[in-house]
Structure 1
Amino acid sequence: MKRAPIYARFSTELQNERSTADQIALCRAYAVRNGLNIVAVYEDKARSGSSVLGRDGLMNLMEAAQRSMFDAIVVEALDRLSRDMADLAGLHKRLSFLGIEIQAVHDGIADAVLIGIRGLVGQMQREDGAKKVRRGMAGVVRDGRHAGGRAYGYRPVLGRPGELEIVEQEAEVVRRIFAAYAAGRTPRDLAGDLNRDGIAPPRGIRWNGSTINGNAQRGVGLLFNELYVGRIVWNKVRMLKNPDTGKRVSRPNPQDQWQTNEVPHLRIIDDEVWRKAQALKAARMNASSHIKRRPAHLLSGLLRCGVCGSGMSVHDRDKTGKTRIRCSAVRESGSCSNRRIIYLPEIERAVLDGMREQLKAPDLIEAYIRKYNQERRELAAQANSMRTGLEGKRDRTEGELKRTIDLVIRNVIAEEDAKQRISELKTQLSLIEAQLCGLDEPPSTVALHPATVRRYIETVDDLSKALADHATAPDDRGPLTQNFRELVHSVTVHPKPARKGFEIEVKGKLAALIGGAAFPTSRHIGKPAQLGRRYSAAVGHDSGFEMVAGERYRLSPHSSNYRFLLRCCG
């Protein structure tokens, strides 16, 4: 008897919890009829079939398949495995390579044609369902009801879906926020005030500046919520699932796609306060854009806290005028334990010195590119092999289709007898053509551009000289700052115990060093290649500190960045 596990899945928490139990019972009966020995059961509850990511049951099933623990898989229907064409085809390809059949109670043993058809149908049904849901939500908004999630200041009316009522205690907080913002308080300061007063936030345990500030492009955030002036606005964003992570991400819709309806009974803020807050918000956004065009500091927007991952911002200046920074989460929410206040000039000097020393050794970059090109050649060989296989399959299918049609023309076989086979061959041919069209071009290799490395070293050298006296360094450093920021992705500051200094991890854009976007989007695939060198250098500074860089210098053919670690003591 063939060994076989059962896989079952249902999509959402709104479905019956017994759905998987019913699927398993149906699969067991099928196994008895077909002489299969059920050796295990894998299931995913409340997991969408739109992605294989985040489905522990399916991942455990595939791991067991790699260990040859069974010969076939039993499912109620192929859409239980996946409702995405690419994912279903990928699962079938991997299981076929391992010699494992997919047997569906309602479909039988799966082959390439059935996988293609069921994958297409499953994806179309999923997308059609999403369109119907959006159509229903649009109708809800037209009726003057709320189609979104929970809005701070309101609660749903029991027994009347989509209808809201004002929560007066939360409405007072909303009025307080708008009044204080209109008076000139910043979102971060407001978040700190609310946290100190022990006021519960809309979500989580603490207020953050972003909760109040929101996002102008998406029209989300407390300050942008037009429900507070008695107006429902729906369809500001659409949700998409990232195929690499399986996570849902939002994308803003054009304003002409937004749908609005007046609901005066839900008004909390009067028009005058609303207009004043929006005007101030617009003015600050314009100011922010100006700051972004010309950063206040070399590392503005690049600094990250090594404890919580939040940004780091200016805290104050000491008596000599030197800028000091700290984790921004401490100020606005108090949620981070990193209370260290660090001098910005020390971080800038360490970053510049470390990068200059690391990147004066082009052998590191050359080693990276050798490894990267080796990976690219392997990927190119795989792509060419796949294309050759598909082209051969296409030629064989076209040949069989022509022979079948020829037999019909010559009256060797009846047209009715050949109709189903011709349809299957055409479907199979369409799927092969679609796969060929979906293949990427074989990746090409890249070459190191010494001129770019020289330009970079000159840029960092010039910046180091310009920052020798940070307190009096001119703000206008010309294109040097822009060139430097094009090469740096982030600078993470890891605090150490008192008087032990801190560590800095620099993550840079290595593609810029070799001339253009030569690398694919960064993805974690296995362990990155470890390439590195170790050195120590004394850095001129009044208090004296030592820097050791390169101890965590990571270069991976799957990554578009480089990293190195600086240890600063003193």
Structure 2
Amino acid sequence: MVNPEQAEIVKYIFAEVLSGKGTQKVADDLNQMGIPTKRGARWTATTIRGILKNEKYTGDAILQKTYTDSRFNKRTNYGEKNKYLIENHHEAIISHEVFEAVEAALNQRAKEKGIEKRNNKYQNRYSFSGKIICSECGSTFKRRIHSSGARKYVAWCCSKHLKQITECSMQFIRDEDIKKAFVTMMNKLIFGRKLILQPLLEALRGMNKSDNLSRIQELEKQIEKTRNRENCL
């Protein structure tokens, strides 16, 4: 059930950000007006950003954002568990168009301030983050939750295709298919190291250039890893 007073505050926050105000300015204005947060505390920029990024105000709901580990500690779900998107789960306060427009505004403001939206922790959240390159446009793939009727599944999509479908026609790839391809590739490297890795290593050594030293060392590490894996098979 939507609380009318709280709904008006949420609408105000989204409208103010769309008008060009920063999150700290919106928080300051709410504090000056004497309007407390839902828990009766003062507003902060972090609180405002939390509201702006919460999909529940569009009527949707993402389940299992957090989970409890084996030691009963609450953890943020960075992909360890499946997440489930339920559309039109409840009454919406903000339209999807407004929500997406605010997200674009925040991203643009961050770029103007020289702030990277995704730090290294985020980039490495999933095993394939930043590692899958689109063969058509060269952009990296992003992890997404797709739906087929009532069934949800993880897929990887070209970031340029997601932003502008006319600039890249690359279709999404299911997470399970990528994992199968990765295992197949690793098996080929393990059993074909003499034909693939070692010849490449010798070619680099033959070039006798100091800038190839780090690449040679990395290949030696890879060869050692494949040997260890082969011994375990």
TM-score range, shorter chain: 0.3 to 0.5
Structure with the higher fraction of residues in strand conformation:
1
Larger Rg: 1
Q: Normalising by structure 2, what TM-score?
A: 0.43
Q: Normalising by structure 1, what TM-score?
A: 0.20
